[in-house]
Structures are given as C-alpha cells and as structure tokens.
Amino acid sequence: MTQTASASETHLTNPGFESGDLSGWTTTGTAFDKAVTDDPGWGWGCCFNHEGTYHLWGFAAGGDAPTGTITSEPFTLTGTGMVSALISGGRNENDLYAALTTLDGTVLHKATGTEDEAYRRVTWDAREHLGEQLRITAVDRATGGWGHINLDDIRVGIDQPPSPEVEGLAAYWDFTEGQGAATTERVSQAADPISYVFNDAVYKPDSDPLWGTKSEDDGVLSGALLFDGYSTWVTRAAAQTQLPTDGMTVEGWVAPRAFEWGDDGKPSAIVNQQDKGARRGFSLGVGRHGVWEFGVGTGDTWYETKVPKTAALAAGKWAHLAAVFAPSQGTIRLYLNGEQVAQTAIPTTARLAKADVPLIIGRHNQPTIINGTFAVNMFNGLIDQVKVHTSPLDPAAVAAGHQRDMQTFASGSIPQARMAMDRSRYDGDRYRPSYHFTAPNHWMNEPHAPIQVKDKYHLFYQHNSHGPYWHNIGWGHAVSEDLVHWRDLPPALTPTADSVAPDGVWSGDSTLDENGVPVLLFTAGNDSQRPNQATGLARPVDPSDPDLVEWKMHPTLVTSQTADLDVGAGRKVRYGDFRDPFVWKEGDTWFQLMGSGVQTTSGTDIGGTALLYTSKNLTDWTYSGPLMVGDVAAHPKTGQVWELPTFLPIGKDAQGRQRRALLVNPAFPAGPGEYSSKYVYYWVGTWDAQARRWTPDTTEPRLMDYGDHFTGPSGTVDDKGRSLVFSIAQDRRTERAHYDAGWAHNAGLPIELSMRSDGDLGFRPVEEVSRLHAGEPLLNITEPTSVNDANTRLANVKGDMLHIKLTLERGSADTFGLDVLRSPGDEERTRLFYDAPAGQLGVDRTRSGNNSSAEPNFGIHKGPLTLSNGNLTLDVFLDRSMIEAYANSHKSITTRAYPFRQDSLGLRLFGDGSVVKSITVWKMGKLTD
C-alpha cells in the first residue's frame, strides 16, 4: 500500500508562497513579477479562498497584458504520488495554465482557470512517476481579457489517490446516504447540499428530503434520492467540478414518476451546468412524454441531441442513460440501458465551454417560473449513480458499465422503482386535513368520475404530481369500501403522446358499459386543435382487477364541439369552451352533458349551458341541444360558462315524475375573477328522458353552500340508490403558502342528495362519516340545557379534528350558534351563526385567523334558511383548516380558517335565550386509518 508523506517530505520550496515572495521559483517575462499578494479579494468581488496568508495572483503583476512563466525548483515525487494545487484565473488551455512537468519540460498534467478568481483545487494522479524529479510550471501567454493565471497551496504526495470506482471521473454521486440533507460527491468527498422544502418547514416540523427504500436486491440502486418534482435538487458550486473540454460522458439511472409539460421548450433537468442562451455548459434532461435529450455549448453553438419516441422513458420505471460528447469522433451519442439510441454529428473542433453557474441535479439552471413562485423544468422521481466522466466513453465501455450495474441486481434484471407518494411527509402540518380526502402529495382540484364497481367506490381527481400548483394535469385515483376511508392508487390517466389527450386529462365522469365494465369519459386536452377540449374515453386494461389500476385511452375522440351547434335562434355556442362530461344511462341510452356557454350571434354572453348528447354505445354520440341555458345578465354569479354539470335523481313527485337536480360550477372566462371557483348553483325540476326534456321548477338559481369554498361538483348513484355528490374545497392560500406547505386543496365530505317535502333539494353527509369517529363521544348532552351549562361542559373539549352534532332551539335569541377553533381569550374563532330576524345561516370569519390565506379579509358569508319548528340542527366537521357545517339537511357552509395561535382549539356556544336541545362531540380519525 502506498505510504502517505507529510508536507515536510514533499521538499517543494515555498509551495504556498507563504514567504511573501517568489523564493524557490524562477520566472521568465513579467507575468508573475510582484504577483505574490495577501489580498483576500480582487476588488470587484470576493473572495479568493486561498490557503494561508499569501498566494500568487497573476493579475497583480500588471493586469492581463504581461506574459511569462514561473517554474518551481525540482522536487522528488514521494508519498501518495498525487499532486494538487489551487488554481484560478482565465480559461485558455493552450496559453494559460499550470502544469506538472518533467525536468526537461514535458507536460504530464495541466489545468487552466475557469474565468473566476475564486480558487478550486485541481488534483493530478502522477503515481507512475513516483521517485522521479518533477517541477510545477505556470504559463501565461495570454494577453486579452482574463489573460492571467493564479496559483496557491501546491501539495505533493499528500492527497489520497482516487479509489478505483472514481478513476476517470470528474464527479460521482452514488446517493448511498439514505437520509439527511446532503449527499457526498465521491471524487472530491465534498458534501453537496440537497434543497428540499421541509429542510426548514413553515407549517410542520422539519424533515429530511425523500429517499428511496434500501434493499440489497436493488444493488447500486438501493436507497436512491427521490426528487419531489418542485422543491428537491442537489447543488454543487460552479468551480468545484473541473469539467473536461475535449470530451466527456454523463450517465445516471433515473426513474421518472411523471413528465412535465416542458415549459418554454426546456427539459426537466436530470443533471446540468448550463447557460443555453450563452451557448455554454451541458444539460441532460427529459422532456414532455419522456423524450430525453443532451446538449453541449461551445460558446459559439449549442449542440443538442434528442432520442426518438421509441427510446422515450417510461414513467415509473428505472432506466440507465448515458450521453457521450465525443468531438474527436465528431459525434454526440445517447445510450439507453447500454444500447445506442441517438447520434448527432458535431465538428471535431467543438470544445465544451463551461458555464459559470452551479452544477445542479434535478433542477434546470434557468427554469421557467409558474405563478411567480414555482420553478418548473424540474425532475420528478428517483435519480441514482450520476457520473461525469473525463473522457468520451466508446460503445463497448458504455455497455460494460451498464452490465456491471446489472450484475448488482439480485434478479439480474432492473428492479422495480418504488416511489409511491407518501402522505407521512406532511405529518404535523397544522392546516392539512386528515379525514377529508386529499391527494397524497401536491396539487388536486375537483374530484370527479365517482363510480361504484362491485363492493368498491372509485374516486378520481385532477392532480399535478409535480408540485402544489395547477399544471401537468392528469387523473389521480383512490379506492374505498365505505366512502370515508381511502387507499391511494397510481394515477389512472396522464397526458400521453400520440393519444387524444397529449396536453391534459381534465375532469370527466364514469359509467358502466353494456357489459357492466366501467368506462371513464374525460376532457381531452390537445393544444394542436381548436377547441383544445373534447371528450375522450378510457377502459380498464384488466376489468377483473378490483382496483382497476390500469386504463387505456380509446384511440379517437367520442364528442367534439363544432361552432355551428344549434343552441337556439339568434344564438351561438361559446366555441372553445367544451368540457367536463357527465354521463348516465336510462334504458338502452346513455346521456352526456358537456359544460359550455351560449352567446348572441354578435358575441354577447347569454349564460352558461349544459349541452346534451345521446348514444347507444358510448363512442357514437348525437347532439340533442342545450339541456338548459343560464342568464348571466340577471344572475351574474352563474357565469358565462357552466363547468362540471351534474344531473342526479332525487326522487319522484306525487305524479310519479322523475325529479332531478342540476348542479353547475360557474366559470368566468370573460371575468370578473372574483366569482371564480366559489359557488355551486342548482335547479330542481322534472326530467323526461323520452322527450329529452328538462323542466326546472324555476329559472331562479339557488346556492347550495353559503361559504365560498364549496365548488366543483361530481356525482354518482350507488347500489343503495343514493345520489352522491363530491366537491372540491378550495383552500385559497397564497402561492407561497402552497409552496411551503407542499399541497393544495382537498375534497369536501361526500354528501347524499334528497328531495324535501317542499320539493327543494336536501342534502347531508353520507351516514358512513360515523365510521370516522375515534372512540366514545368527548361530550354527549341529550337533554335540553342552557347555553351556559353546556359551555361549562364544553370547556375541556379541545380539538381541530372533531364532529359536532348540535340542535339549538331559538327561544328568545335573535342570533345564536357555535364558535369553533376558538382561543381561550376569544382572540381567534370562527363563528357559525343563525340570524333569526333575517332568517339567515352564516359564518363570521372576521376573527378566524388568515395565516397563509390569499384573502386579506375573510368577512361574513350568509344565505337564507328556514328553521325547522324553531330548531337549528348543525352537523359540524372540523378538520384542521377545514370547516363544514350542514344545517337542517338543507344548506351548508364550507369554509377555511388558518389560526395563528396554537391554542385556537376550543368550542363555545352563544345566544342568550336559546336552548341547547342536544350536542354530541366526537374526535375524528384519519381517512387512511
């Protein structure tokens, strides 16, 4: 084994210029005269980061113009046989460099600067010259800008030689740590920081970046780093890695969880150190639909190579990528799992021009910013075994390296990429609901397409797996046996190349086909068409799978909007708005509603509409006309467009006519934005399927929920004959809060629709919510009592995951109700109230606390409600920031609160003169229990 020499054994005179002069060195020319300095910085920047007091700053000798050389006295190479030095200054490998030479001047190794005054250490392996006499020489033949070289702290025989695994590598990250917020680069043994949103968490306790599971069977891929798609990346300072200019290879194993949109034509970076605008650096990344690419900048040109679609990456699967920059052979070559899949010709004179930006794994050097907050062009999934070779590997070497990795796998085949989204990363988040359905990670908006298949309920939802913002939308998927406990499944549908939905899979519905097999109908996004919205269809790959995990899109669209649809005399359809199919079957006919809008022929908006189609086979549809058209002039909050039309039976009237409720989500493409995503309006009426005729009781729209967080309805009829509705509860937080929290939005509790005796729509949470009760009630008052006595018993009941069932008799009170999320001194609280003189149910959030909310002032929201024999019955559900209150099974309030205080957990009744007829409080469990 090679013995390590101490610094005193190197016998190199004045190796760090600590004499304050050039003792031990010989010069020619004037480039290094009076260049020894103790300056810590260069005047227009900071800092050299040199060792000791003195160093050799070439610019101090007279700027960039002087030329010359400086040569050390001879020394005998001893110790480890490694020689290293701190080098900085201009970049010119021919005329400006420091070198290790023989006594006759033969250059054994050399390095130039990086056009940066800050030193970085360069290490040369000279073990084959152990025992020989050598010299260090610095050469400056450059006279233009950056025409100087800097030198300090030469070490002979001290640095350890590279281990065999890093020979020929400029950098290597094997991600073996399995924990922590740093990863060791194996060549330099330096720890590089891992950025991650919860390293310094805002709304929960700090936690480490995500790591893959450790398994010996996975060989070199055991315990990879999991990049969450928006907040995870590894950074290495610009000068820390010395990249070769005349050829290199970049390789690594990746398992993408999903693919980004590719904003501004930029790939999701796997590893890059690039400034493409300046045509400098390199980038290995993956674009939309898994097509990956490699680019190299020479300063004059950016050379880029993409793989064909046949070599695109598959989501959820490991792949070994290698990108070879080989100017000596005039090519850039790309390899997938050891086999060449792409090649581009380049000039043999091409040389890498290093970009003076950090080397980053998982994040683009120059990302596009969404909503002023989120950097996109980021990798989502597992990365491991990232290597930057100092030479272009030939095909045999790439194949051999891939085979060596394959031999580490227990089965001899590429292991499974295990990266299911883990809900536990949010443990301790004070605002994230625990028993209302949420996406396992990141963004969701409306849940949709609920369907019961045999003994399971399936729920789908709009999901961005890359981060907590709207973009890259596909269908998330969960399954339940009781509507309140849910199990996460892989995404059901994602934007797919060469499909009907390459650019987005937006909301839709589900039904059973003629064989009882479930079918999904979705809004297919295709930006190459106008409108870019149409109806696509998907079927399960394996209908016998009880979880229905895999789905396959039908190759053609099933309904498309045309500009000449008949929506009435003097009117035209709002062309381009055509989305959110709702589907049901009666007899042998399927009916489909599509959300859209109607205008006058001159372009004035009349109102939203639900366009009706019929079919005998689910793939061929016939247009019937508008089911109903709104009146946006008379009712501005109902929107110019209706989204998510939901049309469900609620019973039969005394004449035996089928009664239905039409629910819509208003949209405002022409403004104002203040009404967007806040309301669900409904109409109740009679439906004649044979005549295709809907007759609402009144054209006056009615509001279901008096908060402003209940929206996005979808529905189904289950095997109990219940009409069930799901909704999205917007959280209305700032984009910064979404970033810091790592998630956005959640569903409301599923509700059951009914027809009231007065013919109006009634609704309440499904009875299964009682299965969320955790143990016996915390309080149970069943006899009439005063508000004061009830409050005495409520004083010790605290929590933000509660179900409160409450009946209050008005008595002589004008205003009465319940405060929730109340602090002991009443500094914070959310007030659910009934205003008897006005006949209104409301919520007062003026003291709720709006930590992280996008709304500066919460205010008061209310709407009409008639008491039942003088009684108000409330079903109240508290779930962290989520508050739902259902009143007399007729109206509801869905709202949010973001208390600043940790002790805002109390309950208190109010309303002198009212009587508490009953109140029961339960603690609630989690939806995943």
Q: Give pLDDT tens digits for 770-806.
A: 999 999 999 999 999 999 999 999 999 999 999 999 9
Q: Answer whether residue 1 shows pLDDT above 50.
A: no
More reliable by pLDDT, 244 or 45: 244
pLDDT of residue 9: 45
Q: Sign of the CA dihedral 593, 599, 600, 605?
A: positive
The pLDDT assigned to 2 comes to 34
Burial of 69-79, coded b for 16+ CB within 10 Å and e otherwise, reads bbbbeebbbbb
| Res. 334 pLDDT band, cuts 50 70 90 | very high
Contact residues for 621 (Cβ-Cβ < 8 A; gap 6+): 535, 558, 559, 592, 613, 614, 615
Residue 516: other Cβ atoms inside 10 A? 9
Tell me which of 4-13, 420-429, 671-680, 900-909 is least confident. Answer: 4-13
In the predicted model, what is the mean pLDDT of the chain? 95
pLDDT tens-digit profile of 506-527?
999 999 999 999 999 999 999 9
Length of the chain: 929
Q: State the virtual CA torsion across 566, 569, 574, 579 in degrees, nearest 10.
A: -40
Using one digit for the tens of pLDDT, what is the confidence trace for 584-624?
999 999 999 999 999 999 999 999 999 999 999 999 999 99
Determine how β-strand 882-887 pairs with β-strand 891-896: antiparallel
* pLDDT above 70: residue 367: yes
| Cα angle, residue 471 at apex, residues 470 and 476 outer, rounded to 5° | 85
pLDDT value for 225? 98
The predicted-structure confidence for 368-383, as pLDDT tens digits, reads as follows 999 999 999 999 999 9
User: 332: pLDDT confidence band, cut at 50, 70 and 90?
Assistant: very high
Check residue 114 and give its pLDDT. Answer: 78
Over residues 733-754, the mean pLDDT reads: 98
Mean of the pLDDT values across residues 384-388? 98
Count H helices and E strands in the chain, helices first.
3, 65
Residue 6 banded pLDDT, cuts 50, 70, 90 = very low
Asked if pLDDT for residue 296 goes beyond 60, the answer is: yes
Cα separation values, 745 from 522, 680, 733, 773, Å? 21, 17, 9, 23
What does the pLDDT read at residue 5?
A: 35
Amino acid occupying residue 757: S
Average pLDDT over residues 225-237: 97
pLDDT of residue 8: 39
Residue pLDDT, tens place only, 50-72? 999 999 999 998 999 999 999 99
* Cα separations in angstroms, 373 against 686, 881, 886: 48, 23, 36
Q: How far apart are CA 487 and CA 481, in angstroms?
A: 9
**CA 630/CA 633 separation, integer angstroms:** 9
What per-residue confidence (pLDDT) applies to 188?
A: 83
**Rounded mean pLDDT of 479-504?**
97
Q: What share of the chain in percent tops pLDDT 90?
A: 91
Rounded distance, CA 14 to CA 608, Å? 83
Q: What is the pLDDT of residue 929?
A: 82
Contact 495, 289 (CB under 8 A): yes
Query: How confident is residue 43, by pLDDT bands cut at 50, 70 and 90?
Result: confident
Please name the helix (run of DSSP H) or strand (run of DSSP E) that holds residue 171, with its range, or none: strand 169-173
* 81, 86, 90, 96 alpha-carbon torsion, rounded to 10°: -30
List pLDDT tens digits, range 232-246.
999 998 878 888 899
Residue 601, CB half-sphere, CA atoms under 13 Å: how many?
Answer: 6
**Top-confidence residue, 777 or 47:** 777
